[in-house]
C-alpha cells in the first residue's frame, strides 16, 4: 500500500507534491507542539496537586 502512495506521488506535479508534503509536515509539527504543551500542563497540575487544572 505504501508503495502505491509513493508511486502516485512520483506522478504528481512537483509543485502540488511539495505543497502536500509541506502541509503534512506542518500539521505534524503543530500536533507535536500541542501534545507537548498539554503534557507540560498535565505535569504542572500534578506537581501542584491541582485537581481542577488536571
Task: Look up residue 49 and give its three cell numbers.
Answer: 496537586
| Residue range 8-48, pLDDT digits in tens | 767 888 899 999 999 999 999 999 999 999 999 999 999 99
pTM: 0.66
pLDDT of residue 44: 96
Q: Is the pLDDT of residue 1 over 60?
A: no
Contact residues for 28 (Cβ-Cβ < 8 A; gap 6+):
none
According to the model, what pLDDT value does residue 2 have? Answer: 58
Contact 54, 45 (CB under 8 A): yes
**pLDDT attached to residue 45:** 94
Query: What are the CB-based long-range contacts (under 8 Å, 24+) for 3-6?
Result: none
CA–CA distance, 13 with 11 (Å, rounded to integer): 7
pLDDT at residue number 25:
98
Amino acid at each position: 500500500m505504501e508503495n502505491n502512495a509513493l508511486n502516485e506521488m512520483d506522478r504528481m506535479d512537483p509543485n502540488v507534491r511539495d505543497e502536500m508534503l509541506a502541509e503534512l509536515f506542518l500539521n505534524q509539527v503543530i500536533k507535536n507542539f500541542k501534545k507537548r504543551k498539554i503534557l507540560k500542563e498535565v505535569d504542572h497540575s500534578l506537581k501542584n496537586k491541582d485537581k481542577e487544572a488536571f
